[in-house]
Amino acid sequence: MARPTYGIVQAMQSLRLYSPSSYRLAAPALRRQARGYATETGNTTGDVQSSSDLPPTDLPSTEPPATELSSTQPPSAAPPLAEAPPSEIPPAVKAAPEINFDRFNAQPARIVPASPSYFSGSPRFIDNVLKLESLQAKYASLPTVGAGEAPRMAWFKLAQFRDYVGEPVPMKKYKSLLKILQRLNRIQPEMVPGEVRSELNNFLRPGNPYAAQNVPRTVDENGRARAKGKRKESTAVVQLVEGEGEIMVNGKSLVEMFQRVHDRESALWALRSTQRMDKYNAWITVKGGGVTGQAEAITLAIARALLLHEPGLKPVLRKAGVITVDARRVERKKPGHVKARKMPTWVKR
């Protein structure tokens, strides 16, 4: 019978293990190993009796099952191993684990739920809650800090938490879990036990949104101070450099931009009140809103930019009322009202 040139046969030949009888002995074991059931690899000791207690679906061992072997053992994986001399086998490949001869412990006995809260329908969530509650009870006596002093933690958002546990957790239940997390987080920071810390870290969303610290703005290397200001619907961005008092707003001069003297006055009030009109040049971009809003947005932006150049001016500017943000916005119109608050006039009939 012509032997097919498949990997295992070659490998055995190269190792001087191959003979038709040894192949017959080893083939069922190899096939079983290929299926990967530990219970059946339990007696791969190569005894001939092993083929008798196999299920009848297995081929009889008298016929060398070359074609079947090819279906279970992909030829693409085996030939390089067989053709290469042993010295060329990459060292990263680990040997197969030892055969488990203790069949009793490798045999399946029962199918059981993986979690004791299986029947609740959301076992992973409930397991998490129970674990956190046990931690909370265990470390209840540790000193705590106030809610404001505790380290700020970015817990999972509800959607992220649902992804994490893979269960449709309602908002209310997640909030109760968050309460436990927050209580654990309030433990005196240097006394937090390791298990609490690691457990809390499981509930943090990836990346730390609170890690980025606010960098105080300064004048850049070209001597520009950049600042923003808002008023009503307008937003102004000012780039302030030391100069001779030239102002450009959206590429136009101040006079072109603001017809009213009052607007021009108020736009430059920060410089005027500190007598810095001829000391700085300003390049201003302003958009949105109307004329007054734009002018007063520029006021705030210039004042902020000026503070970057001369922080000592803060009390003066504060007194001049140019670094106080006017947070008033147009109130929304309500249904049933004519405007935000105005009611329709009363009509008798």
Q: Which residues bind another protein (CB under 8 A)?
A: 36-40, 55, 57-59, 68, 71-72, 104-121, 123, 126, 130, 141-143, 166-167, 188, 190-191
Crossing angle of helices 158-165 and 123-138, in 10° steps, is 110
Q: Supply the minimum distance, in Å, between the C-beta of residue 62 and another protein.
A: 16
Q: Supply the minimum distance, in Å, between the C-beta of residue 65 and another protein.
A: 11
Q: Supply the minimum distance, in Å, between the C-beta of residue 150 and another protein.
A: 13
Contact between residue 273 and residue 317 where contact means Cβ atoms under 8 Å apart: yes
Residue closer to another protein (CB basis): 112 or 327: 112
Contact between residue 236 and residue 286 where contact means Cβ atoms under 8 Å apart: yes
Return phi, psi of residue 251, to 5°.
80, 0
Q: Supply the minimum distance, in Å, between the C-beta of residue 213 and another protein.
A: 24
Residue closer to another protein (CB basis): 109 or 215: 109
Residue closer to another protein (CB basis): 126 or 300: 126
Residue closer to another protein (CB basis): 190 or 244: 190
Q: Supply the minimum distance, in Å, between the C-beta of residue 190 and another protein.
A: 6
- C-alpha atoms less than 13 angstroms from C-alpha of 193 in its C-beta half-sphere: 12
For the chain, how long is the longest CA-to-CA vector?
A: 114
Q: How far apart are CA 281 and CA 240, in angstroms?
A: 6
Query: ∠ at Cα 242 (241, 246), nearest 5°?
Result: 80
- Residue at token pair 């739920």: 113
Q: Supply the minimum distance, in Å, between the C-beta of residue 153 and another protein.
A: 20
Q: Supply the minimum distance, in Å, between the C-beta of residue 311 and another protein.
A: 35
Give one DSSP letter per residue of 149-192, joined into a string: TSPP--BPPHHHHHHHHTS---HHHHHHHHHHHHHHHTB-GGG-
Residue closer to another protein (CB basis): 143 or 335: 143
Output the six-digit token pair for 110. Answer: 């029962």
Chain centroid to Cα 197, Å, comes to 18
Residue closer to another protein (CB basis): 111 or 171: 111
Residue closer to another protein (CB basis): 14 or 144: 144
